[in-house]
Structure 1
């Protein structure tokens, strides 16, 4: 046993030395209160304020990034690099806008002392805040982190399919299997921001939603954006061709009166040329029918026709003709014994019985071939009743082992 243990120890390989631990570089500590935010609540139909906010944000962001021309499309096409996103001192205005048919909520953030301060100066209030129009700005209220840098230089716009108040009144959002807790918390935070009167309340109660929750809100309740949602201006009404033509005619009419003192209709009436007479090259049509007119006159005199009586007379005439032209052999044919029927779809109909009676006569005449055409050998007359033959065969084997089932 001892020798075996020595052999096992000799065959054991030495364990490798432990790898040195690689320490990640420590991130620079961000001083507290480095960022600043602006919250703006506007009615949906407020084009002057929306355009002013849009112009200021586009101008400051494009100058900071060196983009030309200054427009929203320039910001939307610019993506931030990882070093810009990770740089805590990168000065840029970012944020989001929540839009429904009642209200617009702007939440803007940036580096304190930079572009966000310039924007606050440009958006200085000209009137006191109201319940529907608020500018919440305070240079003394600072924030420790920047939440919306990953949205990029253009503001993230989220349009809700229904008004936020109506969405919160829907009982389905309180079912956790349908709406997650994070999404429910985001809806409540947005509503609470709308109700706030001080920016300090937004900071102290941590009402700004996270970026991931805003993306979740857009996927669940988001709708397509229109030009009015982005720029605040209603879409231009399309001018129809008829309206354009009418405007041109009115303009021409006014110009003619101003220059000549007369309406264009009066001037045209004097300059009209005499009408030309068209020569007819076709003979006049004959649209008279004397016989038809006499027939219609006669019908009026005779009064309404009794079609029932006319039909009876026609049937009587056709019966007389059929009785005269009917073959004598068919008339003199003997009556059948037993019950018969007149309809061919029934089993014991009279016509089929007469056919098989004629077929039996044909079977007794093997020298001739009978067909239904005097010129061609087609539609030969059936002389074998398959149903009778099958019945005879079944009766023959009824009491044997080969009986039919």
Structure 2
């Protein structure tokens, strides 16, 4: 047994034995080869179904880099443009600032979360909650057309390009991608990203429910099985509503920020394609830009030591993160219980997919996994 294997096995076994996560698939590639792969725990605890390498997970925000890469591929072909006004594809969509001014919003602003949009939060009088704007996780049976109308009514948090705030930008971008492609968002992602990379199990729907991991949430005495419209606390003033059945609801819009499902091996194909310069989906120059910090110090208060590129967060000052990343490492996660990073300088692509929110994404488990990868 290698040192890497023993370190990762210990982290996984401890998390499962301590009842912090129900199940996980962890994968690590170094220099293009598989350094570690393990499925552990249960995909469905109540049914006694074990986790396997081909278990399908609800991806939540792991969806975002796939949709962003689709947009970048369309930018390369001149179908979209980084600095083109989004009203080219969303005529009449004109969100305003608090003073009533309507600023220009570009594709670049959407990719980098600098457009001024947000997400619904449990904070008092949250405008997204008041207008019934979803985060792409709830099952509201809402069309994207209706969602766009609601988003437009909420004032932007800041003028585009002057701040950073995580939010519904990728849902808006997903609608643009679908319209520009002349089809659904799912068909566009399949055409530009998942199809060329042979990611056959990654889509906005699940055709084989028997392979889908059940969804669990942190509980006082261990993970609890989620029901629909399940609220999960994710820290002071932070909470999210989940509807696990949404993945089976064709009447809910295809969320570019949170709506896909897929397997670990599929996502590793994507990470490795990006790590090695774009593979069959993007040009190397595009990848270099996507993996460069595009937002300066705007995210320092949100995540010390990290900026944001076109696909994910980008580590700018590793010493501020508490983890031995290389500068330029790309990283993000998914609130259903996932965390990933790609360190091009070290030749590493790695992630944990779990079925436990939010421990698998924001708890100690992903931090311990990452530290174990680096040794």
Greater fraction strand: 2
Which range, TM-score by smaller chain? under 0.3
Higher RCO structure, 1 or 2 (CA under 8 Å, sep 6+): 2
Greater fraction helix: 1
Q: Give the structure with higher Rg (CA).
A: 1
Q: TM-score, normalised on structure 1?
A: 0.21
Q: TM-score, normalised on structure 2?
A: 0.22
